[in-house]
Structure 1
Amino acid sequence: MRFDLTDLRLFENIVEAGSITGGAAQTHMTLASASQRVLGMEADLGTPLLLRSSQGVQPTEAGRTLVHHARLVLQQMERLRGELGDYGAGLQGHVRLLCNTSAMTEHLPEALGRFLALHPRVSVDLEEQASADIVDAVRTGLCDIGIVSDVVDVEGLQHFVFRRDDLVLVVPRGHALARRRRVALAEVVDSQFIGLAEGSPLQAHVALHARRLGKRLAYRVRVRSFEAICRMVAQGIGVGVVPKAAADRSPSLPEIRAIPIAEAWAARHLLACVRDVDALPLNARRMLHELLVPAAQ
């Protein structure tokens, strides 16, 4: 076999994109060049690497084996570049980080800002996904670090507590439940809710627990941030579920009341998970270390 790093990067990008066209674009290569490289790899191996159809491509069993090892090789090269960067000049690192809604909006900005300030030549791919999807991405090597809720199965991954992330019910100060010390979702499931936009993993999590009660949440409006939920609640539009950190930092705090939800699913920690700390590229290990520094009080 005579595969070079460009071949491996191209094939990884093709599998992730689901098409040779998309993989070629991500590798900054023409479609004709990318197709020729894939054909050369298949000829060299003597077996197909991709199943081609009008909907795109999927890796064969040989292709899945190749992309698995390609990711390991490319991660090792990234680690090598990062470590040599301490002695050279101008080398740039790259970290792929996936996180859930709460981490993205409430807990990551401070820690990520510290990391980027300390490492000006490192770039970060940051994307919000559902916790279950993030765990799958970490297991398959599609990201370096994932930040997930502790309700998902992280078996087989190394994981560390990132932040406490309890969910609370926010109601207007004059609401009938405003003086309660704790509340169950069943007590408010028939209320008018202010929710996050369609597709929000956290909102889907709350809706799932409502369905387990045989109910469907009624939304008066969906907004794009926890702060917007709190502002709507302060105006008496409805109630909402947000992380305690978001309620505590909301400019609307004087007009709302944050009540702990008396159910196990609302008492959460966020976990930073990886496949193997020692196998991480240097810059990803540096980021993980920075993420695990306790938040400033």
Structure 2
Amino acid sequence: MAEELTFHLFGPLRVSGAPGRAYPLGARTPRALLALLLLRPGTLVGLTEIIAQLWPGAPPPDAAADVGNHVAALRAALGTAGPVLVARETGYLVDVEPDAVDVCRFAAGAAAGRAAVTAGQPAQAVRTLDAALAEWRGAPLAEFSGEPFAGPTIAHLENLRAQAVQDRAEARLQLGDAGWCVTELGELVREMPYRERLWELYAAALYRDGRQADALAAITRVRDLLFEELGIGDGPGLRALERAIRNDDAAVVPGAATTDRPRG
């Protein structure tokens, strides 16, 4: 009976399956090959592309045979699950569902969570985004950060994470959890100081937490930061939020009052 495997691309590449079973994936090149294929589960990756990605600029004379040998070694390492690595006339694929790969689960959860926020379902959004962000157990493709195939994917995943944590904070704010949002967003604006929407949510959370002066101070900080560091002005969303906070217009400020948070 074939083993059901789960593949992890957050942190070092690893494979989990049968309890207590080790899956030694070999040296750097076969590991990179598996990672490359796992980024597109169920999709054929052409041999020409594989060679170009694994050996940019200077492939070995027998690169095609080397790829075949690496696939054979990976099959042996995966045991009865080896058939998940499938050869086709023009390339190779990993025959698994996206749910078997942690970065794919994360991306799907981040998209579903954002859709829930947009649909006005903040509780569902928080549950979905919590589960998605829990997949982030280390830097994506950590051991392959210098490889050509990894760079664009790492940048994409990091942007998805930034959006996911922003969406989760927005959902928590909609639920009236201003205190949690002040703490979470305070850390996020330090980690990602140029994301204006994060600052808007942070200022809104401060206001909802009864800290009007601190909310206005946060808006001043991000406005100064954007001008001094990037040479740009603040956007209309931030200016509208500032007016609402100055006028104490709670109906315009994002989020629900803490006392309005749904119970249960």
TM-score by length of 2: 0.31
TM-score by length of 1: 0.29
Q: Whose helix fraction is larger, Structure 1's or Structure 2's? A: 2
Q: Whose strand fraction is larger, Structure 1's or Structure 2's? A: 1
Larger RCO of the pair (alpha carbons < 8 Å, separation 6+)? 1
